[in-house]
Amino acid sequence: MSLKSFQSNLDCREVNGLMINNGWRECDDSDLLLSRREDPRFGGWQIVTDLSATGERTIIIPEFSFKYIPNVLRLIEESVATEKWLQLCEGEKELFNSFFKTKLSSYGDFPLNDFLAFLASWGDISIVQERERLIHFLYDHFDIEITLCSEEELQKGNEFLNYKSILRTHSKDSSLFFCFREEVLEEEVKLLLGLLIIYQDQKREKYTLEKYSKSDWEIILNSLSFSTCLVSPRGELVIHNSHFSSLGLYASDCLKLENNETIECNEKFFKVLKTPLRIKGRDYISYIFISDESQTREGGLTISSEELGIISGSIAHELNNPIAGILAALTLLKLEDDLGEESENLISDMETGAKRCKKLIEVFLGFSKLDPTNSQNDTLESSVEQSLQLLRSRMVESNLKMVFDYNKKRPFARNLNNSISSMIFYLILSEAFTLGHHQKLLSSEFDQIRIEIIEEGSDIQLHFHPYMKLFDVIAKSKLLLHLMSLLELELEGKENKIIIRSLKKL
């Protein structure tokens, strides 16, 4: 598939020749229309000469001036590429979700023994040799042709345009994809892919759990907000958390409880969730005690990471076209020969603002990734700088600067999703800026907020000067707390000192 295709209603060899010379080809099915007047039925981009055109995907170029067209074509190509990638990602979500909405089956002679024998010796799909083994196996036994690509490989040079559909190789990881040149997948192919995804998920989970020691499990259990324990059939308390200790129950008392039973401990009522387990050939029983307060909290309105991705991704998708159109129009204006200095400065300011909006759109697009918790290699310092860029216009309007001193004593314990971490810092800095602006209204000499950021192991410390009661304000932000829970972070601090701490033990 090529992005450089166009339709033309013009009877002008010079314009069509210019398009061809710029690498564009004319065809009936394209995302660009050249015409004198705007066609409201056309769903893609349009370049017209009619000054009365009003469509948000319509660019007006009087008399099709040749000096404007190359720059406009480049911007249109970038916009269409972004839109195609978003459509491919949305299709991936629908394809993945379809695996769990319908019953998948196979017809004919399914080589089950060969398939199981392959799985028994198949390693992690992240290893190149294991990917090649899978590709050869699927082709030899099922006549299925697939390609395995990372997201970076797909977006490099718009490689994703060569595929009709993609599918993640892990249900909770979007770093690697099965890529297909066919648009419709047969039921048997879906069945095979579903089994492969489940197998890789279980394999990865097994590797992770096997690395945990008893002390690791105790840390995990103690981080839970409810009481829980694991008991042997003989009444031995295998492991428990501190909340369970406060209930005053013995392991022998737990064995007498039934699933979904309600009990009273310390003048509080708890619902019992009882689950029999078999671990390494031994039988155990797990107990979870949910209080009425927990049930009320769980019944409240919450937003999942997937819903957050859908909402923000939809907003970003709707903003992408107008911003691209604005940048295209500003590019045309800058090429005018008779612009004065004042006009050039004004256009430059408008272009800076539009690019800042585009940067914010890219942050929103980060939430629409298949897995928002996917870590990236960007540094935390770059996340802070990106959040400050988003506040730049407020600084200019209020004549109030925010400067930071970044001190990396020990690198943070793990990589974080850059889009989410940038938004976390943005929400914190935005509230600090609001408090600082209130102080500026009281004192005209106040013109700067200084932030000292210390990166130290599992902690990120933020000290704000001058003194402001910031912690109580940000601790009430539901969006901030939700984003931090996505990255397994917790918020601590007091007044003008904020601590972001990793809950994930490495």
Token representation of residue 408 = 């990396």
For the domain 375-502, what is the CATH code? Answer: 3.30.565.10
180, β-bridge pairs: 165
Token representation of residue 318 = 């709707």
Asked if residue 273 lies in contact with residue 260, where contact means CB atoms within 8 angstroms, the answer is: yes
Asked if residue 448 lies in contact with residue 400, where contact means CB atoms within 8 angstroms, the answer is: yes
Question: Side by side, which strands form the sheet with 448-456?
Answer: 401-410, 448-456, 459-465, 497-502, 489-494
**What are the domain boundaries of the chain?**
99-210, 214-298, 375-502
* Distances from the Cα of 313 to the Cα of 319, 341, 368, angstroms: 10, 38, 5
What per-residue confidence (pLDDT) applies to 300? Answer: 44
What per-residue confidence (pLDDT) applies to 365? Answer: 62
What per-residue confidence (pLDDT) applies to 231? Answer: 92
Token representation of residue 89 = 């990602």
HSE-up of residue 338 (Cα within 13 Å, Cβ side) = 0
Asked if residue 79 lies in contact with residue 45, where contact means CB atoms within 8 angstroms, the answer is: yes
Helices (H), 122-177: 128-142, 151-155
Q: Burial of 196 by CB count in 10 Å (0-12 exposed, 13-18 middle, 19+ buried)?
A: buried
What per-residue confidence (pLDDT) applies to 184? Answer: 64
Token representation of residue 184 = 């419709």
Look up residue 24 and give its amino acid.
W
What per-residue confidence (pLDDT) applies to 452? Answer: 93
Region of 23 please: left (phi>0), alpha (psi -120 to 50) or beta.
left
453, β-bridge pairs: 406, 462
What per-residue confidence (pLDDT) applies to 296? Answer: 39
The architecture (CATH level 2) of 214-298 comes to: 2-Layer Sandwich (3.30)
Task: Report d(CA 446, CA 398) in Å as an integer.
Answer: 11
Total number of residues shown for the chain: 506
Cβ neighbours of residue 443 closer than 8 Å, sequence gap 6 or more: none
What per-residue confidence (pLDDT) applies to 302? Answer: 47
Three-state DSSP class for residue 38:
coil
Task: Report d(CA 230, CA 238) in Å as an integer.
Answer: 5
- Segment-wise mean pLDDT, segments of 10 residues, the chain, 506 residues: 79 79 83 88 86 85 74 85 86 78 59 76 83 88 86 87 86 81 74 79 64 69 86 89 86 90 83 87 89 48 54 62 75 76 82 76 60 60 84 80 88 82 88 86 82 90 88 84 84 87 76
